[in-house]
Structure 1
Amino acid sequence: MTNFPISRRMASRLMGTACALALLPITAAAQDKPVIGVSVADQRSLFYIAAVDGMRAAAEKAGYELNVQSASNNSRQQIDQINNLLVQQIGALIFISQGSTAAAAGVRAANDAGVPVVAVDQRPESGDGQLDTFIATDSVGAARELCTWLFDQIGNEGKIAVLQGVLGSTAEQQRSQGCNEAIEATPGIEVVATQAANWDENEAYRATQNILTSQPDIKAIFAQSDAMSLGAAKAARQAGRDDLISVGIDGFPTQLAAIREGLTQATMAQIPYRMGEMAVADAIRIMTGEGGDIPAEQYQDAVLITSENVGEFKPSDFYGPAADKM
Structure 2
Amino acid sequence: MVLKSHGLGKTVLIQAVGGVLCLSLAACGSGSDPDTSSAKPAKGESAAVEWTTAPAGYVEAGGTELPGSYPEPTKGPAKGCKIGFVTPTNSIPGIGAEIDGVKSVAKKFGCSVVVKDGQFNPQNQVTGMQSLLSEGAVAIILNPLDIDALAAPIKQANDKNIPIIAVDSPASPDAKNVEGVTSTFLQSRDVTAYAAAKAIADADPGAEVGLLYPAFPAGNLQYQVERFSFWAEKLGLTVADRADVSTDSAEAASSAVNSLLQKHRDVTAIMTFNDAAAAAAATAARSLGRNDVVVTGIGGEEGVTGLIKDGRVLMTWAYDNTRMGEEEGRAAINAAAGVTLPEKVSAPGAIITASNISSFKPQA
> What is the TM-score with the length of structure 1 in the denominator?
0.82
Q: Displacement, 1:277?
A: 0.9
* Pick aligned residue for 1:69 from 101, 109, 116: 116
- Alpha-carbon contact 2:294-2:311 (below 8 Å) kept: no
AA aligned opposite 1:63: G
AA aligned opposite 1:191: V
1:74-94 per-position Cα deviation (integer Å, ceiling 9, x unaligned) = 222222222121122221111
1:24-69 per-position Cα deviation (integer Å, ceiling 9, x unaligned) = 446687xx34211222221011143332122122222433111111
AA aligned opposite 1:213: Q
* Pick aligned residue for 1:151 from 186, 198, 201: 201
- Alpha-carbon contact 2:185-2:346 (below 8 Å) kept: yes
- Report the counterpart of residue 180 of structure 2 in structure 1: 130
1:140 matched to 2:190: yes
- Report the counterpart of residue 212 of structure 1 in structure 2: 261
1:250 matched to 2:299: yes
1:182 matched to 2:176: no
Q: Displacement, 1:106?
A: 2.8
- Alpha-carbon contact 2:146-2:219 (below 8 Å) kept: no
- Report the counterpart of residue 170 of structure 1 in structure 2: 219
**Is the alpha carbon distance of 1:17 and 1:98 closer, same or farther for their aligned partners in structure 2, counting shifts above 3 Å?**
farther
- Report the counterpart of residue 36 of structure 1 in structure 2: 83
**Is the alpha carbon distance of 1:103 and 1:253 closer, same or farther for their aligned partners in structure 2, counting shifts above 3 Å?**
farther
- Alpha-carbon contact 1:24-1:62 (below 8 Å) kept: no
AA aligned opposite 2:244: A
Q: Displacement, 1:166?
A: 3.5
Aligned residues between the structures: 304
- Alpha-carbon distance in structure 1 between the residues aligned to 2:107 and 2:177: 33
- Alpha-carbon distance in structure 2 between the residues aligned to 1:75 and 1:313: 34
Q: Which has the higher helix share?
A: 1
- Alpha-carbon contact 2:183-2:342 (below 8 Å) kept: yes
**Is the alpha carbon distance of 1:153 and 1:60 closer, same or farther for their aligned partners in structure 2, counting shifts above 3 Å?**
same
- Report the counterpart of residue 13 of structure 1 in structure 2: 7
- Alpha-carbon distance in structure 2 between the residues aligned to 1:138 and 1:165: 17
Q: Tell me, which stretches of 5 or more residues in structure 1 are unaligned?
A: 1-6, 317-322
Q: Displacement, 1:128?
A: 6.9
- Alpha-carbon distance in structure 1 between the residues aligned to 2:328 and 2:109: 13
175-184 vs 142-151, greater mean Cα deviation = 175-184
108-117 vs 46-55, greater mean Cα deviation = 46-55
109-118 vs 126-135, greater mean Cα deviation = 126-135
**Is the alpha carbon distance of 1:122 and 1:258 closer, same or farther for their aligned partners in structure 2, counting shifts above 3 Å?**
farther
1:86-109 per-position Cα deviation (integer Å, ceiling 9, x unaligned) = 122221111112323443233122
- Alpha-carbon distance in structure 2 between the residues aligned to 1:60 and 1:88: 18
Identity among equivalent pairs (%): 24
AA aligned opposite 1:193: D
- Report the counterpart of residue 104 of structure 2 in structure 1: 57
| Residue aligned with 1:91, SS | strand
- Report the counterpart of residue 267 of structure 1 in structure 2: 316
Q: Displacement, 1:192?
A: 1.7
AA aligned opposite 1:85: L
- Report the counterpart of residue 282 of structure 2 in structure 1: 233
AA aligned opposite 1:147: A
Q: Displacement, 1:164?
A: 1.4
* Pick aligned residue for 2:250 from 201, 225, 247: 201
- Alpha-carbon distance in structure 1 between the residues aligned to 2:84 and 2:178: 21
40-49 vs 97-106, greater mean Cα deviation = 97-106
> What is the TM-score with the length of structure 2 in the denominator?
0.74
- Alpha-carbon distance in structure 2 between the residues aligned to 1:56 and 1:222: 34
- Alpha-carbon contact 2:170-2:177 (below 8 Å) kept: no
| Residue aligned with 2:326, SS | helix
**Is the alpha carbon distance of 1:14 and 1:312 closer, same or farther for their aligned partners in structure 2, counting shifts above 3 Å?**
farther
1:272-318 per-position Cα deviation (integer Å, ceiling 9, x unaligned) = 321211111121112223x22x11111223211110111111013xx
AA aligned opposite 1:117: I
Q: Displacement, 1:140?
A: 1.0
1:97 matched to 2:144: yes
Q: Displacement, 1:126?
A: 11
AA aligned opposite 1:141: V
- Alpha-carbon distance in structure 2 between the residues aligned to 1:237 and 1:15: 43
* Pick aligned residue for 1:298 from 325, 342, 345: 345
Q: Displacement, 1:233?
A: 0.3
Q: Displacement, 1:221?
A: 0.8
- Alpha-carbon distance in structure 2 between the residues aligned to 1:53 and 1:147: 32
